[in-house]
Amino acid sequence: MKRVVLLHGLGNSGGIWSACAAHWRPDTEIHAPELPWSGAGITGWRHERDSARLLEEVLAAVPGGADLVVAHSFASMPLLELLGRRALAGDPLEVSGAVLVNPFYRPSADDFPWAVIAPLLESFPATMAEGVRLQSGDRPIDPELRADIAQRLCEFVGPYGWLRFLDAYLSTPLVPVHTIGTPCLVIGGGRDATVDVAEARALGAALPRGRARILPGGGHFPMLEGPGWFTGAVHDFLDGLARRARSDSGAYPVGT
């Protein structure tokens, strides 16, 4: 039995993974905890400055420990920071692998010009609205109501919560990714309107045992847009980890 922990993004909840439920293999035990930055519980997190530590506590609470950690969007950043922090301390995170889905990542501080701020802020309500639309499935929500729900989610996050996101994003060049020995799969969407797919490719290339897998027509929520494809990619990654564990043949292959 493989224990897979699914970490949702900012303003979302564990329900973001519900479309995948029917696609996991019987030998996969899924944990989808509600995180401090969920839409319902974000109030106490807004002023928190160490989300990586909070994530470490969440993972430590998984019965039996996690075999694989899957982090979407915002959650990819504290997970990456945690992996780097533990690697640098000579105490790697005890997981077989990690999957970073639609991650925010820039390798250099020079990659953040002043002009990056306004588009990020402006795209946030649209990202929330897209998540609401996709989660509604066969019961579409009226566009006006959907926009109202997205606006309410943005209000829940608030300026402090958004600053926590921006600070995490600005800190990605400081993560010592070159020290991370954990095998990592980076999933990106070719039509992601929230974060450029080039960032997924860059992170996959920067991680010593990383590779990127891109869904050409995918957006920011591949677990909702193509749950079969998404779970298949995760299962393929798990299978690759198992083969490597049996053969112990060397570095994880890098590819696209």
The model's pLDDT over 185-239, given as tens digits with 9 standing for 90+, comes to: 999 999 999 999 999 999 999 999 999 999 999 999 999 999 999 999 999 999 9
Whole domain around residue 191: which residue ranges? 2-247
Global model pTM greater than 0.85: yes
- Give the CATH number for residue 112: 3.40.50.1820
Is there a domain that residue 144 lies in? yes
* % of the chain at pLDDT higher than 70: 96
In a domain, 108, yes or no: yes
Residue 159 belongs to some domain of the structure: yes
Look at the chain and report how many structural domains it folds into: 1
Q: If you average pLDDT over residues 33-56, what whole number do you get?
A: 88
Domain presence at residue 118: yes
Give the pLDDT mean for 174-194.
97
- Distance, in Å, from the CA atom of 250 to the CA atom of 145, rounded to the nearest integer, reads 52
In a domain, residue 252? The reply is no
Q: Grade residue 253 by pLDDT with cuts at 50, 70 and 90.
A: very low
How much is the pLDDT for 250?
Answer: 52
253 in a structural domain: no
Asked whether residue 204 is domain-assigned, the answer is yes
pLDDT in tens, 192-202: 999 999 999 99
Mean pLDDT for the stretch of residues 25-46:
89
Write the pLDDT tens digit of every residue in 139-155: 778 888 888 988 888 88
Q: Is residue 254 part of a domain?
A: no
pLDDT of res. 41: 67
Per-residue model confidence as pLDDT tens digits over 98-112:
999 999 999 999 999
